[in-house]
Amino acid sequence: MTFLQALVKNPIFVAAVMGWFVAQVLKMAIHFLVTKELVWERMIGSGGMPSSHSATVCALATATGIQYGGGSFEFAIAVIMAIIVMHDASGVRRETGIQARVLNEMMALFREMGTKMSVEDKLKEFVGHTPLQVWIGALLGIITGFLTCQFMVAGYSIF
């Protein structure tokens, strides 16, 4: 079996990928429902509802727990990593997005005043998550991780 074949048969890897994919598709759909604009960047971009970072690491942790058990060091590593990622998404990265919004507004104001600015691009504002977006992503990841493992244990292949 080649490395790639083994990877796509690994329920932990597949669960994490599926957690990310489902969250990104939902993020794009929710954005479309709210704004009535289909923005393909939402499929790969950060920020928004639900948190794909949370969905990915929670699907990873869930699948790891199912595969190795709650007392395993693998599960402990996955859970601690998930906590760090989710804390970062709703903390540092969220603050970065808020600061980017303020700076973009300042840049627009300075341009209106006739000030020449050297910055050409707006700063990216969709980088972090609200706590609700993180928790919904976590719940989505847990469900996706569980379902993916059940699907693969039954002998089905995702890829």
Tokens of 45: 């971009």
Say how many residues make up the chain.
159
pLDDT of res. 32: 87
pLDDT of res. 143: 96
Tokens of 89: 């998404």
Q: Closest Cα to residue 58, out of 140, 128, 132? A: 140
Q: How far apart are alpha carbons 20 and 144 in whole angstroms?
A: 9
Tokens of 21: 């994919």
- Amino acid in the structure at residue 88: D
Q: How many CB atoms lie within 10 A of CB 81?
A: 14
DSSP letters, 139-157, are: HHHHHHHHHHHHHHHTT--
Task: Write the DSSP symbol of residue 122.
Answer: P
pLDDT tens, residue order, the chain (159 aa): 799 888 989 999 999 999 999 999 999 988 889 888 887 777 777 777 899 999 999 999 999 999 999 999 999 999 999 999 988 887 766 677 677 777 777 777 777 777 776 666 665 656 667 888 889 999 999 999 999 999 988 777 666
To the question of pTM greater than 0.75 for the whole model, the response is yes
Contacts (Cβ under 8 Å, ≥6 apart) of 89:
51, 53, 54, 128, 129, 133, 134
Tokens of 58: 């929670």
